[in-house]
Structure 1
Amino acid sequence: MVEILIDSFKDTIKVVPLLFIIFFTVDYIMLKVNKDNKLIERLSKYDYIGGSLLGLVPQCGIPVAMARLYSNGHISLGMLAAVFISSSDEALIIIGAHPEKLGFMFKLIFVKILIGMAAGFIINLLIKEKRNRIKGCTINCDCPKCRRNKNILTHNLIYTARVTAFLIITVFIINYGVSVLGEESLHAILGKNTYLQPIIASLIGMIPSCISSVVLAEAFIKGAIGVGPLVAGLCANTGYGILIVMKELPLKKAMKIMILIQGISITVGELIYIFGGK
C-alpha cells in the first residue's frame, strides 16, 4: 500500500508545475487582457479546434487545466470535450513502441483529433451554456476569504496545492483498487470480440489512471480487442481531467459530462467496430 501511495504521489506531482503555470497564466490574462471578455468571445468561435490540437500534448496536466478553465467559465463545453477526447496518453507510446504499429499510431492520433473537433463543434452548436459555473471562488471573487488572498500568485499557489492534494488522494484510491483487481482481470473483463467490447472498453478508459490506457493498448497489441474498442476506450480516457470536473462542478453537472463523453466514445467505437472491420 505504501508503494502505491508513493507511485500515486509521483504520478501526480510531475504535472503540478504545468498546472500552476497554466492556472496562473490564464488568471493573468483574464485580469489584464480580457477585462471586457471580448478576447474569449472571439476565441470561443474556434475553441474546439484548439482543444482537439491541445490533446496532442503528451501531458495529463492539459485535461486537468482545461477542466478547471471550463468550471470557471473560460472555455466552452465543446472545447472541454475536444480536449478530453483527443488527449494523448501512455497508450500511444506503447503502440508506437512497436515498429509495425507506428503508422497506425499516427492514424490513431489523427482520428482522435478529428473526433474531438467534430464532437466539439456539434456540442457547441446544440448545447448553449451559461459561463461561471464554478462552485468555489475565482480570482475575481470578493468574499472575505478571497480578499485576504487577492494576490494572483497567492491565489493560484493555494488552488494548485488543493488540486494536488485532491489528486493524490483520489489517484491513490483508484490505483489501489486497480492493483487489487489486477491487469489480467481487466483484460478478462474486455471479453470476447462482441458488440459489447466498445462499451466495456470505454468504461475502462474512463478510469482516471494511466493503467487504463496501458491495459487497452496491450490488449490491442495482443489482438484481444480491435480498433473500434481501442478508439472507444482512448476517447473516453480523460486522465485526471474528469476528477477535476467532479471536484469543481455540482455532481449532476459532472455526471452529465461523463455520460456525454461516454456516449460519444461508445458511438464512435461501435461505428468503427461495425463498418471498419472491428
Structure 2
Amino acid sequence: MVDILIDSIKDVSKTLPILFIAFILVDYLVNVVNKDNRLIEKLSKYDCIGGAILGVIPQCGIPVAMAKLYSGGLISIGMLVAIFLSSSDEALIIIGAHPEKLPFMLKLIILKVIIGMIFGYLINAFIKEKRNRFKLYDISCDCSKCKDGKGIITRNIKFTLKIFIFLIITVFLINLGMDKIGEEGLYKLLGKNSYLQPVYASLIGMIPSCLSSVVLAEGFIKGAVGLGPLIAGLCANTGFGILVIFKELSVKKAFKIMLLVQTVSIIIGELIYILKFSF
C-alpha cells in the first residue's frame, strides 16, 4: 500500500507545475478580460451561444455569477442551462496538465460548447419565462478561492495544493482498486462497461465541489471512466452554481433546473456510450 501511495504521489507530482501555471493564467486572464464584468456583460447578450462559451472558462465563478443573474430574472433559463452544461470546473485544467491529452481537451471544449448551445436553445423554445434586459448585478462568487483577497500567486499556490491533495487521494484510490481487485473488477465496480456509468458519473458531477470534476477527470485519464460517463459527469457539473439556484429560488424550481441538467447530461452520456463515440 505504501508503494502504491508513493507511485501515486510521483504520478501527480509530474503535473503540479503545469497545474499551477494553468491556474495562474486562467485567474489572471479572467480578471483582466472580465474587469468590471465586461466579458460576462458582452457574452450575455448572445444568450445561449454566449453562455456556452462563458461556461468553458475553468472557474467556478462563472456558473455562480450566471446563476445569480438568472435568479434575478436577467438571463434566460436556456442560457443558464447552456452555461451549466458547458462548464467543467477544474476538469479541463486537470486533463490539460497531461500534454498528450491537449488535443482531446480541445475537442472536449468544442463538444461541450455545442451541447450547451443546442440544448440551451431547445429549452428556450419549450420553456418561456419573462425576464428583464441584462444589467449590472452582484455576481461575485462566494467560494473560498474567489473570496480569497490575497495576491494571485499566494491564492493559486493554496488552490493548487488543495487540488494536488485531491488528485493524490483520487489516483491512490484508483491505483489501489486496480491492485486489489484488478482492472476488470474496478471497471465492474464503477460500471465502465455498463450503461449505468453515465448515471453514476452525472450524480458525481452534480456534487458542488471541485473534487467531483477532479475525480472524473483523473478517473478518465487512468482509464476507470469512459468517454460517455466523463461527458455526462462534466455536463452535470455546475461548480457552486447549483447551490446558488437552491439558495435564490424556490426548492421546487431549483429541483426542476437540477433535474433538467441531470436529464440532458445522462442522455448525452448514454448516447455516446451506446454509439461508442470517440475522438
TM over 0.5: same fold?
A: yes
Aligned residues of 2:205 and 2:233 also touching (Cα < 8 A)? yes
Partner Cα separation in structure 2 for residue 114 and residue 54 of structure 1: 12
Partner Cα separation in structure 2 for residue 164 and residue 22 of structure 1: 18
Tell me the CA shift for residue 25 of structure 1. Answer: 5.3
Aligned residues: 213
Matches within 5 A, 1:54-133: 54-131=54-131
Q: Are residue 238 (structure 1) and residue 238 (structure 2) matched?
A: yes
- Residue 225 of structure 1 is matched in structure 2 by 225
Partner Cα separation in structure 1 for residue 61 and residue 102 of structure 2: 25
Matches within 5 A, 1:1-278: 43=45, 46-131=46-131, 156=138, 163=142, 183=170, 184=173, 190-277=190-277
Partner Cα separation in structure 1 for residue 55 and residue 107 of structure 2: 15
Q: Which runs of 5+ in 2 are unaligned?
A: 1-26, 148-161, 178-185
Q: Which runs of 5+ in 1 are unaligned?
A: 1-14, 30-38, 133-138, 140-151, 169-174
Partner Cα separation in structure 2 for residue 201 and residue 113 of structure 1: 19
Tell me the CA shift for residue 101 of structure 1. Answer: 1.5
Tell me the CA shift for residue 74 of structure 1. Answer: 0.4
Aligned residues of 2:67 and 2:245 also touching (Cα < 8 A)? yes
Distance change >3 Å, CA 97–CA 25, structure 1 → 2: closer
TM-score scaled by structure 2?
A: 0.66
Write the letter of the residue equivalent to 1:262.
Q
Partner Cα separation in structure 2 for residue 232 and residue 108 of structure 1: 12
Aligned residues of 1:53 and 1:86 also touching (Cα < 8 A)? yes
Distance change >3 Å, CA 164–CA 237, structure 1 → 2: closer
Tell me the CA shift for residue 59 of structure 1. Answer: 1.6
Partner secondary structure for residue 128 of structure 1: coil
Partner secondary structure for residue 225 of structure 2: coil
Distance change >3 Å, CA 260–CA 51, structure 1 → 2: same
RMSD (CA atoms) = 3.6
Distance change >3 Å, CA 127–CA 103, structure 1 → 2: same
Seq. identity, %: 60
Q: For residues 41-93 of structure 1, what are the alpha-carbon distances to aligned partners after superposition, in whole Å with 9 as ceiling and x for unaligned?
A: x94xx400000011132221010000000000000000000111112422111
Distance change >3 Å, CA 164–CA 60, structure 1 → 2: closer
Partner Cα separation in structure 1 for residue 94 and residue 140 of structure 2: 30
Tell me the CA shift for residue 190 of structure 1. Answer: 2.9
Partner secondary structure for residue 219 of structure 1: helix
Tell me the CA shift for residue 22 of structure 1. Answer: 8.0
- Residue 16 of structure 2 is matched in structure 1 by none
Partner Cα separation in structure 2 for residue 227 and residue 25 of structure 1: 34
Distance change >3 Å, CA 85–CA 103, structure 1 → 2: same
Aligned residues of 1:193 and 1:224 also touching (Cα < 8 A)? no
Partner Cα separation in structure 2 for residue 22 and residue 99 of structure 1: 28
